[in-house]
Amino acid sequence: MKVLVTDKINESAGKIIGKTAQVDILPTMSEDELIKIIHQYDALMVRSQTKVTAKIIEAGKNLKIIGRAGVGVDNIDVDAATQKGIIVVNSPDGNTMAASEHTIALMLAMARNIAPAAASTKAGNWDRAKFTGCELFGKTLGIIGLGKIGTHVAEVAKALGMKLVVSDPYTSKESVEKLGGEYIQNINDFWGKCDFITVHVPKTKETINLINKESIAKMKDGVRLINCARGGIINEQDLKEALDNGKVAGAAIDVYENEPNIKDCPLIHCEKNIVLTPHLGASTQEAQLNVAIDVAEQIKEVLSGGSASSAVNIPSLRPDKLEPVKDYMQIAENSGELAMQISDGMIKTIEITAQGYLADFDIQPLEVAVLKGALSSMLEGVNYVNAPVLAKKRGIDIITTRSNKKCNFTGLLTVKLTTDKETNIVAGAIVAKDIPRIVKINDYETSIRPQKHMLIVPHVNKPSMIAKVAQVIGENNINIGSMNVVQKNDKHETESIMVINIDSAAGENVLSEISKIDGVHNPKYINLNAQ
């Protein structure tokens, strides 16, 4: 067995893998150089620098596992790896303390003007009055996202004497109150309560540009912002303008929309009140050791015939259970995603019903796929291994049923997702020529292939509705791939729904324009992990 490491890692990781395989450490290789030699290796271990492209994966004829010593796998073509049956693993928890502490460090540095004061003093100046800061004690810290990192930030901030307010649709009021904070259900009520705001959420369609010109306008004058999560959650141009005009008194940023190429980032041209670091959230000796050892252990385990603890793409399931239902894994995941993305509120219960031939087999693999889809819509780093654990941790009740009730398909999988606000039903099936289809959304019997970008548009059934919606989509330079328009089963029902596949993402402006059409209510943009 041979393992290739192409980025700098802690030597302890190499020793762990070395117990099972030969380890070659060859950092800073180009794509072409990697393609020439990757066929020799059974495993590849990287950090964030190496881009593991589809071409590299195609050339890796003997690859069994790719390990990312860190959290994000944006630099790995996971779909290409999945198609080749290559396991991709990461280390989702190894840098929790490092990222939390960096957030606190940046907040303190920003509040006390540490960076500019240090630069001025090193230049031989003595400008005490120029760098007067503010105290954290008694100030209100707004936390968006109460995962492991957000929770630790809250605990430290509370110890510093700060008041806490939290916005997170996927946590409970009780969890926030246990930390001594105030839970704000509607984020529009959150902005104006905070002296400092820090974000700890994944980069999803809901969180991209979460902090923008509109949300900044709702904040207190003199608010201070911190982002150690993902670039793009704060709109960089809007933040620069708010810093320049004084609406935002300070910002501390560790992540950027385009990394590592930040020459065009507007924030580097801010002359005051900003602290910038080059994505150092996980850059501690301890964090790098933790993630390297974690991934090394997983590589060693897989090469020894075991399973990975943090696989992001391959189910950790027995082959005999997976084989009979494997064709339904993707539609199961997409059904879970869709059910969650059309729902508001916190998940309470997920009911999964298998009919047709599926009822003859153990549907545990399909349950895991549904959970992965549903949870991926609200959490980062969800995979087939940890999805059941995450669901249990959040108190989600899972009910699975194998029904002998007749259906119109060879196999039918129905997902009924209940939140604290509503219940939605999505059903999927495989139809002719092995094509996956969404065949039901609540009371609407539809038939459309799940794709990456979709729009769900409930509307009153009256003339010209299709034309008006299509016009908005076209005017925003978005192409419609396919559309399915259906009424409810009751022919006298006046409500219909459009299920539209589009070729690119639809932003909030598109949804806003569609919402203004008379007769349309609550349209949704859906972003699926579809093949």
Q: For 13-55, what is each residue's pLDDT tens digit?
A: 888 988 889 999 998 889 999 999 999 999 999 988 899 999 9
The answer for residues whose C-beta is within 8 angstroms of residue 245's C-beta and 6 or more apart is none
Please name the fold of domain 2-93+285-303: Rossmann fold (3.40.50)
pTM (two decimals): 0.68
Half-sphere exposure in the Cβ direction for 499 (13 Å, CA): 21
3-state secondary structure of 183: strand
- CA dist 374 and 368 (Å) reads 10
| Amino acid 175: pLDDT | 87
pLDDT (mean) for 124-151: 95
Return the percent helix, strand and coil in the chain, to nearest 5.
Answer: 35, 25, 40
Query: Is the model's pLDDT at 380 over the cut of 90?
Result: no
- CA dist 308 and 288 (Å) reads 19
Longest dimension (CA), the chain: 83
Q: Is 259 one of the catalytic residues?
A: yes
- CA dist 460 and 475 (Å) reads 22
pLDDT (mean) for 354-374: 93
pLDDT (mean) for 374-401: 85
pLDDT (mean) for 83-94: 84
Alpha carbon of 333 to those of 207, 340, 367, 517: distances in Å?
21, 11, 9, 32
pLDDT tens digits for range 250-267: 999 999 999 888 999 999
pLDDT (mean) for 288-302: 91
Query: Is the model's pLDDT at 316 over the cut of 60?
Result: no
- CA dist 317 and 311 (Å) reads 11
Ramachandran assignment for 319, one of left (phi > 0), alpha (psi -120 to 50 degrees), beta (any other): alpha
Selecting among 68, 224, 230, 449, the annotated active-site residue is 230
Query: Is the model's pLDDT at 317 over the cut of 60?
Result: no
Q: What is the DSSP letter of 141?
A: E
The answer for residues whose C-beta is within 8 angstroms of residue 15's C-beta and 6 or more apart is none
pLDDT tens digits for range 424-475: 999 999 987 789 999 999 999 999 999 999 999 999 989 999 999 999 999 9
Q: Confirm whether 2-93+285-303 and 96-276 share one CATH topology.
A: yes
| Amino acid 410: pLDDT | 92
Question: What confidence category does residue 502 fall into, taking pLDDT thresholds of 50, 70 and 90?
Answer: very high
- CA dist 451 and 448 (Å) reads 9
Question: What confidence category does residue 282 fall into, taking pLDDT thresholds of 50, 70 and 90?
Answer: confident
3-state secondary structure of 452: coil
Q: Is 453 one of the catalytic residues?
A: no
Helix axes 364-376, 329-341, angle to 10 degrees: 40
| Amino acid 288: pLDDT | 87
Say if CB 322 and CB 356 are below 8 A apart: no
Selecting among 31, 58, 241, 259, the annotated active-site residue is 259
| Amino acid 434: pLDDT | 80
What CATH number has the domain spanning 319-527?
3.30.1330.90
Query: Is the model's pLDDT at 272 over the cut of 80?
Result: no
Domain ranges of the chain: 2-93+285-303, 96-276, 319-527
Q: How far apart are the first and last CA of the chain?
A: 32
- CA dist 99 and 152 (Å) reads 10
Question: What confidence category does residue 152 fall into, taking pLDDT thresholds of 50, 70 and 90?
Answer: very high
Question: What confidence category does residue 143 fall into, taking pLDDT thresholds of 50, 70 and 90?
Answer: very high
| Amino acid 314: pLDDT | 67
Q: Tell me whether the omega of the peptide bond preceding residue 27 falls within 30 degrees of 0, making it cis.
A: no
The architecture of the domain spanning 96-276 is 3-Layer(aba) Sandwich (3.40)
228, 142, 235: which is closest to 184 by C-alpha?
A: 142
Half-sphere exposure in the Cβ direction for 13 (13 Å, CA): 32
- CA dist 103 and 136 (Å) reads 13
Selecting among 102, 279, 437, 453, the annotated active-site residue is 279
Mean pLDDT of the chain: 91
Q: Is 279 one of the catalytic residues?
A: yes
pLDDT tens digits for range 392-415: 888 899 999 999 999 999 999 999
Query: Is the model's pLDDT at 109 over the cut of 80?
Result: yes
pLDDT (mean) for 133-161: 96
pLDDT (mean) for 132-157: 96
| Amino acid 382: pLDDT | 82
- Give strand pairing partners of 498: 457, 485
| Amino acid 318: pLDDT | 58
The answer for residues whose C-beta is within 8 angstroms of residue 464's C-beta and 6 or more apart is none
- Give strand pairing partners of 426: 415, 441
Query: Is the model's pLDDT at 184 over the cut of 80?
Result: yes
pLDDT (mean) for 46-75: 91
